[in-house]
Amino acid sequence: MNTPEFTNLEQAAVLARELDQADPLGGWRERFHIPRDDRGGEQAYFCGNSLGLQPKATRAALEADLNMWAEQAVEGHFAGPHPWMPAHEFLREPLARLVGAKPHEVVAMNSLTVNLHLMMVSFYRPEGVRRKILIEAGAFPSDRHATWSQVIFHGGDPEHDLIELAPDPDSGLLDDRRVIEAIEAHAGELALVLLPGVQYRTGQLFDIAGITATARRHGVPIGWDLAHAAGNVPLRLHEWDCDFAAWCHYKYCNSGPGAVAGCFVHERHGRVTDLRKLPRFAGWWGHDAGSRFRMGPEFHATPGADAWQLSNPPILALTPVRVATEMFAEAGMDALREKSEKMTGFLEAMVRRLLAEHVQIITPADPARRGCQLSLRITHPEHSGREVFEYLTGQGIVGDWREPDVIRVAPVPMYSRYDDCLRLVRALMDSL
């Protein structure tokens, strides 16, 4: 993004106002509930990387389900515009567009870590010398816990069978080339590669396509945790040939706390319905839909990602996901990405030009290597990062803190304004 020149906060304020007035997605903010600060004004909300805001349409959709339950009871499985029996099917198209997949390659189910474990049942199959899992050092704790416990479950030793790639000690970033080189160096002993699409602490976007191509070339299964990528950056999971991916919907996808998660399984695996050839845990909702209710004892897997389902979906939890993903389909991921790059670039320019002496941005400067999140480190000799974070919170500016020293802020293109970014920078200047 080529940000127009400005040298002070007043000029930045004029630019923010002009950018908001010209924003083609500016009207989307009105479709969300914006929390209020202690003074009664709207918060400047930069925490969509932790919990997205509530779409106003969610309440009506949930009330429709509650009314259906009250008025129709069990018949609600078959009645109305969104009957419960095929509820997960209504998400196929919008989910597929969200992550760049074919509709039969995606399914909404469970939570993120549960889905990672279910995927590893199928794709982490240590045998012979190929027993190791490659992850990043400093991975989100749940990913590390999941891989660590899977190694133990399969009789391995995490000290030996878990390869953790450490980031550069100065930048805190893990270069894509180092990941590719590590896969090439350890290919003969790797049983799985599991990495984040966007690193939760630094906001770094990995080269999913290039890393996946390397793993596939060496016959190593590869999966992606897209918790901070889904709804944040454009994805092409089918085209990139990923084996599997999992993500949550409560961050950038605005589907509510603990929302039902999403899962991708490439169609080449979805075609394999024989569990002896591709093991998986089985449950009745993964059974072929045509014979599911014959209630027979044998399991016949349905084709596609649906086969990894265990139970029928929780309707009241699935409905907010349907509402939110339909909003993404309407807005268009390309348009959202365009605004994201422009707005995050504006925030970055203000921090670098007005606060460079005391605020360090550890997120990559290249827009192609990040989403909308910027991770800030306070370098002021007299003010700690934690003190600055608490000051921002007191001013109604909501980001989040990650130990030991990072303030994460994410201007989300669906509901954030350029003026929110200005307000954040003004508060940072006041605090320092």
**pLDDT at 54 > cutoff 80:** yes
Determine the pLDDT at residue 5. 78
**CATH assignment, 9-55+333-431:** 3.90.1150.10
Residues 187-214 have pLDDT tens digits of 999 999 999 999 999 999 999 999 999 9
> What string of DSSP letters covers 223-237?
EEE-TTTTTTS---H
pLDDT in tens, 284-324: 999 998 898 888 889 999 999 999 999 999 999 999 999 99
Closest C-alpha to 256, from 336, 198, 318: 318
Give the mean pLDDT of the chain.
96
Reference 199, options 175, 169, 163; nearest CA is: 175
> Region 34-45: what's the mean pLDDT?
94
pLDDT of amino acid 4 = 65
- Confidence at residue 53, expressed as pLDDT on a 0 to 100 scale: 98
Which tokens sit at 124? 């982490």
pLDDT category of residue 171 using cuts at 50, 70 and 90: confident
Q: What is the pLDDT of residue 148?
A: 98
Mean pLDDT of 20-31: 97
Note the pLDDT of residue 170.
84
Q: Which of 152, 147, 177 is nearest to 164 (CA)?
A: 147
Q: Are 309 and 109 in contact (CB under 8 A)?
A: yes
Q: Are 281 and 118 in contact (CB under 8 A)?
A: yes
pLDDT digits (tens, 9 = 90+) for 318-359: 999 999 999 999 999 999 999 999 999 999 999 999 999 999
Q: For residue 2, what pLDDT is reported?
A: 64
Domain boundaries, the chain: 9-55+333-431, 86-330
Query: Is residue 3 very low, low, confident or very high in pLDDT (cuts 50, 70, 90)?
Result: low
Confidence of residue 272 (pLDDT cuts 50, 70, 90): very high
CA distances for 404 relative to 46, 384, 400, angstroms? 19, 11, 12
Confidence of residue 1 (pLDDT cuts 50, 70, 90): low
- Of residues 34 and 404, the one with the higher pLDDT is 34
pLDDT of res. 126? 97
**Percent above pLDDT 90 for the chain:** 93
At 209, list the tokens.
């396509």
Q: What angle do CA 114, 109, 259 make, to 5 degrees?
A: 85
Same fold, 9-55+333-431 and 86-330: no
At the topology level, CATH places domain 86-330 in Aspartate Aminotransferase; domain 2 (3.40.640)
Q: How far apart are CA 180 and CA 183, in angstroms?
A: 5
Give the sign of the dihedral formed by CA 62, CA 63, CA 66, CA 72.
Answer: negative
- Give bridge partners of residue 225 from the DSSP assignment: 196, 246
Instruction: Identify the CA nearest to 247 among candidates 106, 375, 415, 132.
Output: 106
